[in-house]
Amino acid sequence: MLQTLILYYGILQSVHLLALLRAGYLFSRLNRMPFPAPPPPGGWAPQTVPFLIGMGLVDAVAIILALIFAYMWLSRRQLLARLGLISLTIAGASAAIFAIGTFAGGAWAAHPLAYGVMVILFAPLLPLFVLLARA
């Protein structure tokens, strides 16, 4: 179970990194904020964009730590539980702040499928956190 969750976490965060890089590229070139944060009707309020960029940068830190953690476990069978817990704590706090901000902004109501998929994709991280906390 632990191996599967760590593998899933590594793959999920790899895809998450690609999505953030794509979003950053599109924002820098087209000045629009697409998936992974589809906007509410009328677009994001100007003061929301720095919030989303900040969340993306925090996510990038969590992703880098997650990839190191997953690599160490999957390639060397070295469980760095503390590193995993740090990464998961950053990712969880970022997800909570992101959810509150995007929900309040009306994005969830406008794009329930996109935001629902994100919740489903990140849900397995809670059991991983519990398993690492017990290790």
What are the residue ranges of helices labelled H in 1-135?
Answer: 2-30, 48-76, 81-104, 107-110, 112-122, 125-134
Q: How far apart are CA 67 and CA 76, in angstroms?
A: 13
Claim: this prediction has a pTM higher than 0.85: yes
* Predicted confidence (pLDDT) per residue in 24-65, tens digit: 888 888 877 776 778 898 888 888 888 888 989 999 999 999
Phi and psi angles of residue 60, each rounded to the nearest 5 degrees, phi first: -60, -40
* Predicted confidence (pLDDT) per residue in 93-129, tens digit: 999 999 998 898 899 999 999 999 999 999 999 999 9
